[in-house]
Structure 1
């Protein structure tokens, strides 16, 4: 079953879309939509090019980055990730972000899943990859990135998850994936 087969009776049709904001990372629109029952409703939509997230495994450890996130006001422990640039393939973004954030390259990187972060109001689709057989080199951070590299033994992941050390959804999905495939 696919997400688009035989579900036409659930689709909404965008009748009018007004751009409210267009920034470096997101665009926001107010949309008037025609509902399946013929009524009209309003939607606020955050448009995003998507992102990649990478499960980086090396010598029985998983690699994370610790960085401050302004929207949460917290320092968050996350798997390496980054925004897919316009006209950039997610596979290329994954390789680029792995090198930028933890200074790693991999001859064995593959896509696992795609998932929406908040489909009720945002179009952001995350492409989750796993990189094994990584080779560590130097980080290549962008000028506005400040983060620490953290490596956690695979044997400690469950305990760290249960203690609530991971508060980021993509990271929790990644850790659950690793725990279910150990």
Structure 2
């Protein structure tokens, strides 16, 4: 059996507390294993699995057996856990952490309203390679509160200030892969002319002020499809904070 790396399970100490319950496979959960023998057997079995051809940087050596932190940069932390499934079979499972999630919630998505209008951004997204219509959202900076993140993002992306703010609740954007959450807020805006000042890395072409009927139609025809946006709209609607039209 392959010798374990000395820090193979210590990576768990870098993760936020809410992500650390190890679980119990005997009650149907996916259990994170810290057992050296189990981890070693998983690594050994993974030695002989090949990467998809498109992912191979060296086609002559395409194995991918690592357990623990398998990739990290200033934005993301990708973890492959050793796990035991409900039937007792051992394997591995990937989780992706956005960096701000290591010290709390990742960020915010904001539902800005004023005079029966909802404010959206038309933004080009690299991942979809398309222009999308989305609610403003952004990361929480280190040592800042979620409410401060709301204020910063609104000034940057919409260019208007807050009259009142209402916490709509937490959104988990991808429970099967992403170990991060964002907080949704409904914000009533103060009067004034929108003067957005987005960061250079954000390709925002315009701010749209839409009626709720227009929002509904754009959801139906697929123009609004962002998961954060749809979730925030749903959270506001079920609380009867919007939708009385």
TM class, shorter-length: 0.7 to 0.9
Equivalences for residues 34-45 of structure 1 within 5 A: 34-45=84-95
SS at 2:124 equivalent: strand
CA–CA distance in structure 1, aligned partners of residues 94 and 203 of structure 2: 32
In the alignment, what sits opposite 1:94?
150
Are 1:12 and 2:31 an aligned pair?
Answer: yes
In the alignment, what sits opposite 2:169?
113
8 Å contact kept, 2:155–2:196: yes
TM-score, normalisation: structure 1: 0.84
CA–CA distance in structure 2, aligned partners of residues 142 and 61 of structure 1: 24
TM-score, normalisation: structure 2: 0.64
User: How big is the shift at 1:101?
Assistant: 0.7
CA pair 87-40 structure 1, distance change in 2 beyond 3 A:
farther
Report how many aligned residue pairs link the two structures: 176
In the alignment, what sits opposite 1:163?
221
8 Å contact kept, 1:68–1:75: yes
CA–CA distance in structure 2, aligned partners of residues 146 and 154 of structure 1: 25
More off after superposition, 155-164 vs 69-78: 155-164
In the alignment, what sits opposite 2:81?
31
SS at 2:190 equivalent: strand
CA pair 126-14 structure 1, distance change in 2 beyond 3 A:
farther
CA pair 51-14 structure 1, distance change in 2 beyond 3 A:
farther
Q: Which runs of 5+ in 1 are unaligned?
A: 1-6
8 Å contact kept, 2:171–2:231: no
CA–CA distance in structure 2, aligned partners of residues 84 and 34 of structure 1: 34
Partner residue of 1:58 out of 88, 105, 114: 114
SS at 1:140 equivalent: coil
CA–CA distance in structure 1, aligned partners of residues 237 and 217 of structure 2: 11
More off after superposition, 49-58 vs 88-97: 88-97
8 Å contact kept, 1:56–1:134: no
In the alignment, what sits opposite 1:145?
202
Q: Which runs of 5+ in 2 are unaligned?
A: 1-22, 40-66
- Give the structure with higher Rg (CA): 2
Higher helix share: 2
